Amino acid sequence: MLGALLNRERATDIMRRARIDAIAVSSPLNTYYVTNAVPVLSRFTQVNTAFALLPADPKRPIAYIAGGFEYYAGVSDSGLAQGVVPYLVGGTFTEPNSDASPAFPMAGSFAFDAREQRRRAALDSAAPFHASLALAAENALKDLGLSRGRIGVDGADAKLLVQQGAPAATIRPADDLMLHVRLVKTPAELLLMRRASAANVQAALATARAAREEGSVWRVRQRFYREAAARGNLGVYGSVDLVMSELADGPFREGQAFMIDFVSHYAFYQGDYGRTVFFGQPDPQIRRACEIGTTAWHEIRDQLRPGLKFSEIHLLGSEIAAKLDRRLLYAFNPHSVGLQHWDHPRTTVEGTALDPVLETGMILSVDCPLLNAGVDGTTHIEDLTLITARGSECLHQPTEDSLQV
C-alpha cells in the first residue's frame, strides 16, 4: 500500500506559523495529497465534490468528506491514508441527498464477489452516513474541535463548506499555504516522482528519435502522448519547436533545430524533460546556441544546494551564458515540480513577496530554452533534480544533451 503523500509535520509547522487551526481543501489535487483519495467525480464538473479537513494538531485525525458513491467506486479499492477518517453522504443514484445506505449497485439476486464484498465492507465501516455534505462537514468540524477555529481554505468550494458547517469559524485564504506544504516531498511522493520521471524521459526520447518518421509539430506531440501512455503515464503538455497550441501544426525542414518540452504524469505526479532535436545537420550558430545552454545548465546543476534562492539560480545561468556569448539569452527559470508543473508558492507564509529557497527534498526544474528568435531554430535542456542535504542529484537516468535525427 502506498504511504501517505502528505508531509504532516511540515503542514503542522506551516499552519502554526500562519496562526490557523486547520486547512479545508477542495481542490482535487490537494484532497488527493491530504487523503490519498483521488476525487474521481470532480473530473465530471467544475464543482469540487470531495473535501478534506487537515488539523494543525498532528494528534487529531484528518477528515475526508465526500459522497457514498465517490467512496464506493473511487476510494474503497485503494483506501485512505493512515489517520484519515471518512465522513460520507448517504443516498442512492436517484436520491443522492437521502440518508439511505449507499449500496451501489443494488443487490439484485447475484452473489457478491470478493471485490464487491470488500467495497461494501468499506462502506459499512464508514457509517453513519449524513444527509448532505454540509451536515457531514458540520460533524467533522465538531469532532475535530474546529467549529470556532481559524480555518484556511484553498478555494471557493472549501470556503462554502466551512461556512455551512461552522458559521462561527474564522476563515482565511490558504491556497498558497498548501503549496508551501507540498514543496518538500515525502518518501511516497518521491517513489511516484521517480516513476513518473523515468517514464516521461523514456517517452520523450522515443518520440525525439521518431521525429523524422512523424515529420511535423502536431504529429510529434501526439507521438509523445502515445509513448507516455505506453509506459503508464498520461500526457499533460507538449511544446514542440516552442509551439504550445494543441491545434497548431507545421512541418520540419532539413537542418532545423527544434526544442521539445514534454510533461506527463503518473498518479498525478509529473515528469518534466526538455531537449534539442536536430533535424539533420544543423546550422553552426544554432548548434553553438544549444551548446551554451547545455554548458550553463551543467554548471548550474553542479552548484544547486539547500539555501540557494530562485533568483540566484537565474542570475548564475545568465552570467555563465553571457561569458560565452552575450548575444544569446536564455530563460534559466527555476520551478518546483510535483502535482503541478509549477508547484511552488508565490508568497511567504505571512503573505509577502517570495523568492523561493531550495530545501532538502524539493524536486527542481530549471527551464533553459533559448530566448532569441532568428537563430534558425529553438533549443532547450531540462531535467528534474532532487535537492539533497549536500547538493542535488538527477531524478532520472542521465541522457544525451541533444539528439540528431
Name residues whose C-beta falls within 8 Å of residue 28's C-beta, 6 or more positions apart in sequence.
38, 39, 42, 43, 48, 50
Residue 116 pLDDT grade (very low, low, confident, very high; cuts 50, 70, 90): confident
Average of per-residue pLDDT across 39-45: 86
CATH number listed for the domain at residues 187-404: 3.90.230.10
Going by CATH, does the domain composed of 8-182 fall within 3.40.1260.10? no
Residue 42 pLDDT grade (very low, low, confident, very high; cuts 50, 70, 90): confident
Measured between alpha carbons, how far is residue 353 from residues 176, 346, 349, 350, 356 in Å? 12, 7, 10, 9, 10
Give me the sheet containing 392-394, strands edge to edge: 333-336, 363-367, 384-387, 392-394
pLDDT at 223: 98
Average of per-residue pLDDT across 8-30: 97
Higher pLDDT, 159 or 108: 159
Residue 96 pLDDT grade (very low, low, confident, very high; cuts 50, 70, 90): very low
pLDDT at 41: 85
Report domain extents, the chain.
8-182, 187-404
Residue 92 pLDDT grade (very low, low, confident, very high; cuts 50, 70, 90): very low
Where would I find the beta strands (DSSP E) of 255-383?
256-266, 269-279, 333-336, 363-367
pTM: 0.93
What's the chain's length in residues? 405
Name residues whose C-beta falls within 8 Å of residue 79's C-beta, 6 or more positions apart in sequence.
1, 36, 122
Residue 303 pLDDT grade (very low, low, confident, very high; cuts 50, 70, 90): very high
Query: Hey, what's the cell of 219?
Result: 504529429
Distance from C-alpha of 51 to C-alpha of 136, rounded to nearest angstrom: 10
The kind and range of the H/E element at 223 are helix 217-230
Distance from C-alpha of 277 to C-alpha of 273, rounded to nearest angstrom: 13
Residue 111 pLDDT grade (very low, low, confident, very high; cuts 50, 70, 90): low
Alpha helix segments (H runs only) across 231-329: 284-303, 310-324
Distance from C-alpha of 83 to C-alpha of 62, rounded to nearest angstrom: 6
